[in-house]
Amino acid sequence: MRTARKGSVEMPAFMRQLVKETEKRVSSFFKGGRGGAAEGEQPGVEEEKEEVIPSPYLDRPVLDKLTEEGCARWGLTYALGSMQGWRANMEDFHNCVPQLGGELADWSFFAVFDGHAGSTVAQHCSQHLLGHILATGGLEPMDDPERVKGAIIEGFLQTDKHLHSVARREGWERGGTTCGGHPHLTVCFSTEDHKPYSPLEKERIESAGGTVTIQRINGSLAVSRALGDFSYKGAESRTPSQQMVSPEPEVFVVERSPADEFLVLACDGVWDTISNEELCAFIHNRLRVCTDLRDVCTQVIDLCLYKGSLDNISIILLCFPGAPQLSAEALHQEAELEDLLESKVAEIYDELCARGEEPDLLSVLTILASTVIPGLPPGPGRLLRTPAGLHGSMYGL
């Protein structure tokens, strides 16, 4: 993150040790939570005979982040941030096309594909959905909103139809992907999730011969609209949009305003931990102290991770000309906050040592979280950011 602070802060030796110890604790917790044998414990004969089901989670998260940035000639700038996290596999894919080119040079296309039961469908859609939409011929320089909506819907249906032929040819039925995420224009517009228990979705599912149990289709699938998932699309005499899982998207048209600041597309790894209003407030604050949109995206990812997200985490941030700009006052406040946090951590460490306790990262953060600290970024609950030298920009409760 670029602030008024000059240079970098080296992580103290005790902080490096705290991070290591915390990683051990978290890894041990996840191993134990999945029923693994304790360290040094030998499994019994009966346990050895049991079928071992691969865990969807790792012993420790993959923290490497993919970032991307770009701009369009009409004033839009964007950044992407994506991380595998605790999931055993990366199933998120994306599309970032700031300018379509030719007669559509003033058009952009952005999408986040949140895959499930494998990455095949999400990857395929990231490569082919835009092409199927363009092939409808519904996107023209003199655009008609209803014609554009129709082109997008038809593009989705054609993508799913093509996917089905690939699935039959290659012999697979499992796997699917949702698309888009929740777009937000400073919370003046947001989409709704398509969940199996929603009244209209449930009605369609049951009419197609399915059930909704434990809020899932046939007790298994947690989404009711997706590309792929062909084992849920076999009801005879029913159109693709009438199947248990429909590939038809819900499309909204929102007229742009000069006051629009930014738009967010993200997967459930974000929305399962942060509300619309909280995320918009957080991003608005960060745009006033960060010159690189990729930094904002990575801070959101860190926030979600330390808020407990166990999913892949992907976010696309689109900024319009009306987005918040870098502020000298905000930069100064940010630098003061960094200094305050560093001094607070040092005080807590000294107090714990004076009481004969061995400080670890969790105990330090627990005490720090209960301390009244002015100037913290807005967001879900009380956001606590540790000093820049500790694991980069690290967020959590």
For the chain, give every domain's residue range: 10-27+54-89+183-191+256-397, 119-174+192-249
In this prediction, residue 331 carries a pLDDT of 93
Q: How far apart are CA 9 and CA 5, in angstroms?
A: 10
Residues with Cβ within 8 Å of residue 304, at least 6 apart in sequence: 269, 270, 273, 274, 313
In this prediction, residue 193 carries a pLDDT of 81
How many Å from the N-terminal Cα to the C-terminal Cα in the chain? 20
Give me 246's structure tokens.
Answer: 């429909």
**How confident is the model over 195-204, as a mean pLDDT?**
95
Q: How far is CA 271 from CA 71, 192, 317, in A?
A: 25, 11, 14
Look up residue 75 and give its amino acid: G
Q: What is the pLDDT of residues 234-268, one digit of tens each?
A: 999 999 999 999 999 999 888 888 999 999 999 99
**Domain 119-174+192-249, CATH class in plain words:** alpha beta
In this prediction, residue 133 carries a pLDDT of 95
Q: How far apart are CA 60 and CA 86, in angstroms?
A: 6
User: What confidence tier does 3 reach under pLDDT thresholds 50, 70, 90?
Assistant: very low
Q: How many CB atoms lie within 10 A of CB 209?
A: 14
Instruction: Name beta bridge partners: 78.
Output: 70, 318
Asked whether the predicted pLDDT for residue 109 surpasses 70, the reply is yes
Q: What is the pTM of this model?
A: 0.80
